[in-house]
Structure 1
Amino acid sequence: MELPIFKYNPNAYKLDIIVQENIVCECCGEKREYRYDGPFYAEEEIEDICPWCIKDGKASEKFDGEFQDSASVDDVENESAIIEVSQRTPGFCAIQQENWLAHCEDLCAFIGYAKPELVKPIIDDLIEDIEYSGFDVDEVVKSLKKKELDGYVFQCLHCGKHRIYFDD
């Protein structure tokens, strides 16, 4: 069975948000070779969810949970995007409450944790978000190298612009 691809989190496997591990999925009851290793906001604690139950929305529906707090997404009028991110997309781990960024009236794709090798080539795209956060651009790169600052990088699905936000 082919692994599902997630529009708003295309690097979920590369970022170890979904890891290769033998489990019995608590949602579908199937033996699977992949397990979700990210946030899931539900009343009961769920350990083993497969990517297929995330993609088709079964996990969210069965456990009345969200992979991303729908109240913590940028303000967009695209309700289907909010549902897709909160109920059918693997979330990512942040130090504080995760925030899903938007651009071009749609939610962006989460592409990775802000490391210097990811940020440096796209720094021009990020300047506005960095300055809005109250940081100096040069200091951000230095702080990321020293692992003194955690950031989360997104990319617009329409125009390709990159965005960033920080836990500080």
Structure 2
Amino acid sequence: MKRQEQSLFPTFKYHPDPLATGTIRRQQTSCPVCQQIRAYVYVGPFYAEENVEGICPWCIKDGSAAQTYHGQFTDLIDCDWREFAPEYLNELHHRTPGYRSWQSEVWLSHHNDFCAFVGYVGWKEIQPFAEEVAEDLAKMKALYGFSQAQLERWNTGGSIQGYLFQCVVCGKYRLTADAS
């Protein structure tokens, strides 16, 4: 295995800071796709027939990981695929690091494009965006039967896990959550 000079860390339209979200870690890996020793490794979900570990971010970005293993980084079940351009779907599924959720991941959209995953949040973290995500909070209250008091006690990693997204077109924040 040869060591390759690290090129600039790849950027991802729908997951702009995978280091901050913990989906990619600074940890040496021997990438099974490019066969290079890399300083960063992907530790998020990858849906393929084979159990593949050690994928580097560069092989996610160029689509070679998904192509090599006939896999994808998101497994969106509740999505109307017809509302998205094929290139958006391809980029999300095959060239974007996924995120871990308690249940089935939901990748929010706005303006007929997928939003960027910002991170895992609790009540305290969403306060600066509370007005923008009010409609999403109302949906969560209805879906899970949350009271306002339950939401205000919500901490990251508690019985409610929030996922914050931001529209790539207009910058509006969106919110979804899982409950245990």
For Structure 1 versus Structure 2, the TM-score category normalised by the shorter chain is over 0.9
2:117 to 110, 115, 120: 110
Contact 1:127 1:137 in 2 (8 A): no
| 1:83–1:165 CA distance, 2 compared to 1 (3 A) | same
Equivalent runs, 1:6-45 vs 2, <5 Å: 6-45=12-51
What are the residue-to-residue correspondences of 1:91-110 with 2, within 5 Å?
91-110=98-117
2:123–2:151 CA contact under 8 A, matched in 1:
no
In terms of mean alpha carbon deviation, does 6-15 or 34-43 score higher?
A: 6-15
Kept in 2: contact 1:55–1:88 (CA 8 A): yes
Describe the shift of the 1:126–1:136 C-alpha distance in structure 2 as closer, same or farther (beyond 3 A). farther
Count of matched residue positions in the alignment of Structure 1 and Structure 2:
168
Percent of aligned positions that are identical: 38
Relative to 1, partners in 2 of residues 1:74 and 1:110: Cα closer, same or farther, differing over 3 Å? farther
Q: Deviations over 1:17-73 (max 9, x none)?
A: 110111100111001000001000000000110000000000000000000025454
CA deviation after TM superposition for structure 1 residue 116, in Å: 3.4
Deviation at 1:2, TM superposition (A): 0.7
Which residue of 2 is the match for residue 148 of structure 1?
Answer: 159
Aligned to 1:132: 139
Unaligned runs of 5+ residues in structure 2 are 1-6
How high is the TM-score relative to the length of structure 1? 0.93
How far residue 159 of structure 1 moved from its aligned partner, in angstroms, is 1.2
Q: Structure 1: which 5+ residue stretches go unaligned?
A: none
Deviations 1:71-112 (A, max 9, x none): 454653222111101100000000111111000111000001
* Preserved CA contact (<8 Å) 2:121 2:156: no
Mark the CA change 1:145 to 1:110 in structure 2 (over 3 Å): closer, same or farther: closer
Does structure 1 residue 165 correspond to structure 2 residue 165? no
1:42, 1:64 within 8 Å by CA — same for their partners in 2?
yes
Compare CA radii of gyration and give the structure with the larger one. 2
**Secondary structure of the corresponding residue to residue 152 of structure 1:** strand
1:107-164 Cα shifts (integer Å, max 9, x gaps)? 0000010133421100111110111121445532322368220111100011111111
Greater CA drift, 41-50 or 63-72: 63-72
The answer (yes or no) to whether the contact 1:114–1:150 under 8 Å persists in 2 is yes
Q: What is the match of residue 77 of structure 1?
A: 84
* Inter-partner Cα distance in structure 1 for 2:156 and 2:76: 31
Q: Is the 8 A contact 2:122 2:155 kept in 1?
A: yes
